[in-house]
Amino acid sequence: MSLRTLLRHETILALVAVVLLVALAFQSAQFFTGANLLNQGRLMTEVGLVAIIMTFVIITGGIDLSVGSILGLTAILTGVFWQNLGLPLMAAAGLAIAVGTFCGFVNGFVITRFGVPPLIATLATLALYRGLAEGISQARSVRGYPDWFYVLGQGNILGVPTQLWILIAFAILASVLLAATRIGRSIYAIGANEVAAFFSGLPVNRTKIAVYTASGFAAALAGVIFVSRVSTTRSDMGTGLELDAITAVVLGGTSIYGGRGSVIGTLIGLVVIQSLKNGLSLAGIKAEGTAVLIGLMLIGAILMTTAFNKRRA
């Protein structure tokens, strides 16, 4: 795996993204307006935050299916802590994020301490966390937040949606962490060969727990942003988020078998998916239609990369 092949996948994907953007711009006059693009950035943030850390998770050779449920649980808890426990909203949101982060830690703990395959562990917690959200909320929603809270999800800073700044900061931090630090290199090493990484003295379990905890944190942060964007909490928020995030990661060239991938690839993957969704909805196709496309893209992207790898090997 040389740097050149890595660049090649991402350059190809970036070209696809550019072609797609140009095609959509010709197809609909509404698409290439500043307002629409910024709005798409706003809609992309929640999946984006989750997908960036999902890149880390998948590079270690794992997967996290519980992110959508963590998002839902955090959203519900934000409302419940604020309204039912009477905490100040800032503290309520902070506490909800802490719980979401802890949910991620539980995933990591179960996976490393008991050796449960990540797929099964997070499938179980997917049900558990969503179930807790449903049980706690009892299908009631919490609305009527103070105005300042909506700045996070609906406001702008310097003309750019607030949450897009968060996504950008998050992306830069994650890229640097993954590409240029010891932690980042050990994440690749674990994904490439866990046993070898262990015998090289890398803290395998600690790194994996940290990655799943970070995944919980990203999903929780996305949950609070989600609440602020749509002004309400519901227990079914974030359903299917894991699929969108995994698709973006895989489309971005990260190997589902672990060991390689990049944050930049994931970001380009996100842009491709979001612009397709947007283009389709401008063309009058409903959200369900795009789900079909995302499913096809997920399978197609992996089919292509495995075919490509087979030829090289």
Partner 1 sequence: MAVLSQASTLSTRKPQNSRPFIARLMTDYGQECVIIAAILLLFVAVGLYNPRFLSTSNLTTIFSGNAYIAVAAIGMSMVIITGHIDVSVGALIGVLATISGTLAVSGYPVWVAWGAPILLGMAVNFIVGWLVAFARIPSIVVTLGMMSILRGGLISITGGTWISGLPKAFMIAQWKPFGLPFPIIAMVVLTLLAAWWMRNFPFGRSLYAVGGNPEAAKATGISSERRVLAVFVIHGAIAGIATILFATQLQVIQSTVPPNLELTVITAAVIGGVSILGGSGTVIGSTLAAILFAAIGSALIFVNVSAYWLRAVIGGLILITVLADMIRRRPKK
Q: Per CB under 8 A, which region of 14-22, 74-82, 120-128, 180-188 contacts partner 1?
A: 120-128
Question: Is 21 an interacting residue with respect to partner 1 (CB under 8 A)?
Answer: no
Question: Is 296 an interacting residue with respect to partner 1 (CB under 8 A)?
Answer: yes
Q: Answer yes or no: are the C-beta atoms of 32 and 25 closer than 8 Å.
A: yes
Give residue 86's region: left, alpha or beta (phi > 0; psi -120 to 50): left
Among 135, 160, 173, 179, binds partner 1 (CB under 8 A): 135
Among 20, 25, 37, 116, binds partner 1 (CB under 8 A): 116
Which among 274, 259, 264 has a CA at the least distance from the CA of 305? 259
CB-neighbour burial class of residue 96 (10 A; exposed 0-12, middle 13-18, buried 19+): buried
Q: Which is nearer to partner 1, 267 or 301 (CB)?
A: 301
Which among 250, 198, 138, 189 has a CA at the least distance from the CA of 1? 189
For residue 63, the minimal CB distance to partner 1 (Å) is 7
Q: How many helices (H) and strands (E) does the chain have?
A: 13, 2
Question: Is 291 an interacting residue with respect to partner 1 (CB under 8 A)?
Answer: yes
User: Nearest 5°: phi and psi at 102?
Assistant: -65, -40
Instruction: Point out which residues pair with 156 in neighbouring strands.
Output: 161
Question: Which residue has tokens 């999946």?
Answer: 47
Question: Is 311 an interacting residue with respect to partner 1 (CB under 8 A)?
Answer: no
Site map 45..74 versus partner 1, x via CB under 8 A: ----------------x-x-----------
For residue 51, the minimal CB distance to partner 1 (Å) is 14
Among 17, 51, 132, 189, binds partner 1 (CB under 8 A): 132
For residue 207, the minimal CB distance to partner 1 (Å) is 16
